[in-house]
Amino acid sequence: MCSTLLSSVEAWWDWLLLVHCVANMPLTKHLRVGIIDSNPALKSRNHLTKNGIPDSRVSTVTPATISFFKDIGAWEHVQQQRHAFFGKMQVWDYTGLGYTRYNARDVGKEYLGCVVENKVLCNSLLLRLQEELDDIESVVYPTRLVSLTFPSKSRQAGMNPASSGQLSVGHATEELHRSNLVKLDLSDGRSLYSKLVIGADGSKSNVRQIAGIKTTGWNYPQSAIICTVEHAVENDCAWQRFLPSGPIALLPVGNNFSNIVWTMSPEESLRHKSMSPEEFVKSVNHALDFGYGPHPSSSALDHYMEQLFSGIGNTAASTKECFEVPPKATGVVSERMAFPLSLMHSHDYVSKRLALVGDAAHTVHPLAGQGVNLGFGDAAALAKVIAEGVSVGSDVGDLTLLQRYEKDRKAANVAMTAVLDGFQKLYSVDFGPLNVVRAAAFHGAQYISPLKRNIISYAMGDMKLPIFS
């Protein structure tokens, strides 16, 4: 097999999106693709019903990601399943010293993002892939990767078939050809050969570990609780409040349901998992309302900031929006799941005949919901680089070619990682002077319209850093 090969165990969307890109581009559609994944859901061919309780595992996809899904024909499948657009967002601090509201109208858009269950994203990409491939089973290997042998390691003394009388000419040619490919040994005993191996198999990437690529990172002293809650009314806004232990987010997922992503200490996460449903709902409402501190209220500083920056560009639509209290949860309707939080970044995204995408290359703090969008950006960028290489007759596994992908995506991913890690550290300390600095940041984001628009554009997929410009 002389084609691009994807190895995946858990991060479906990264490799599904990459396969779509390769299959849709005229220059790369001829490439043969193999998928190593033992998940039986790959055989699913049905849309997921919009009825029932939303799954607790969701992602917030940006307009840039949505546009990309539309380009490959997968978004129409998302639209037939449950999803929730939101055009407003409110972020505030538990001290009551400041808040910021964002509105899609600030940048002339209809929405800021869309919350979609992870299973819907994966299913939509899979359905689209099944439309493109007549026999998807022929490219799926329902097994696990055991080892990788790269060309430099597979060429051994005495392998030259020209000096061996035991090999036929045809066999010799095949051996020479395979000696320049990556050999993949699978758990079912089979072996595959590929020009390029793409590790899209999540934060605990087997491909990354087998290839010996080192990482830098650390564990945060935090865990995240995720679950689905119900309201008496529909939620149409994304809410995030920074608490002493970490942020709590309330994200609309359609109908009268919202998703909770609540960061806290590992000990607190265990306690909240074991609470009765009634106690947990009470704790959620406490955290999103008057708990830990007062609501932000107008002050002389607000009036001063508004007057000071009113002449800098057109005033954003959300600048005059008042603080609102989020809708109360009336019940928790899904399993409460807790997972530890960490930061990880691979020293290298590529080596000869290998590339990493998505969580296999980087993981970030979930406070802004950007992890999945970074992974989608990786998949799109790598597919583009592969297509450009094919257009000029390059070897798709050539290191020089793959380094163009690494240079592009590493810069964007490191910048976002730094921003999110900085926010995590800034809001993990309860200290008077620092609280005032945070409040000033909230006021700046609320009243300096050019800065607000820049922040929104960055969060929506424009990779310019959110600075005052």
Q: Where are the beta strands (DSSP E) in 180-317?
A: 182-186, 191-194, 196-199, 215-231, 237-243, 246-254, 257-264
pLDDT of 302 above 70: no
Q: What is the arithmetic mean of pLDDT over 158-174?
A: 40
pLDDT(247) > 70: yes
Confidence of residue 431 (pLDDT cuts 50, 70, 90): low
Confidence of residue 11 (pLDDT cuts 50, 70, 90): low
Between 125 and 440, whose confidence is greater?
125
Top-confidence residue, 369 or 207: 207
- Position 10 pLDDT exceeds 50: no
Residues above pLDDT 90, as percent of the chain: 51
Q: What is the pLDDT of residues 203-238, one digit of tens each?
A: 999 999 999 999 999 999 999 999 999 999 999 999
* Per-residue CA distances from 347 to 151, 212, 361, 362 (Å): 22, 11, 9, 10
Asked whether 343 and 365 are in contact (CB, 8 A), the reply is yes
List pLDDT tens digits, range 39-60.
777 766 677 778 889 999 999 9
Note the pLDDT of residue 47: 74
For residue 137, the model assigns a pLDDT of 76
Residue type, 348: D
pTM for the predicted model, two decimal places: 0.86
Average pLDDT on 79-92 reads 95
Residue 287 pLDDT level (bands cut at 50, 70, 90): very high
- As a whole number of Å, the end-to-end CA separation of the chain is 50
Element (H, E) at 454: helix 449-459
In this model, does residue 410 exceed pLDDT 80? Answer: yes
| pLDDT at site 382 | 94
pLDDT-derived band at 174, boundaries 50, 70, 90: low
Check residue 445 and give its pLDDT: 76
Reported as a single tens digit per residue, the pLDDT across 142-165 is 888 999 998 864 333 233 333 333
| Residues 6+ away with beta carbon under 8 Å from 285 | 328, 329
Beta carbons of 405 and 355 less than 8 angstroms apart: yes
Q: Helix (H, G, I), strand (E, B), or coil: what is residue 135?
A: coil
Task: Tell me if 34 sits within 8 A of 6, measured CB to CB.
Answer: yes
Distance CA 122, CA 119 (A): 5
Query: Please, what is the average pLDDT of the chain?
Result: 83
pLDDT tens-digit series, residues 25-36: 777 777 888 888
- Residue scoring higher pLDDT (438 or 86): 86
What does the pLDDT read at residue 154?
A: 39
Kindly state the average pLDDT of the residues 383-408.
94
Per-residue pLDDT at 152:
65
The percentage of the chain sitting over the pLDDT mark of 70, rounded to a whole number, equals 83
Would the pLDDT of 89 be above 90? yes
Does the pLDDT value for residue 460 go beyond 90? Answer: no
Nearest Cα neighbor of 15 from 136, 187, 190, 185 is 136
Of 220 and 301, more confident: 220
Give the model's confidence band at 2: pLDDT under 50 very low, under 70 low, under 90 confident, else very high: very low
Encode 78-97 in three state secondary structure. HHCCCEEEECEEEEEECCCC
Residue found under tokens 């850093």: 465
Q: With bands split at pLDDT 50, 70 and 90, how would you rate the model's confidence at 353?
A: very high
- Binned at pLDDT 50, 70 and 90, residue 172 comes out as very low
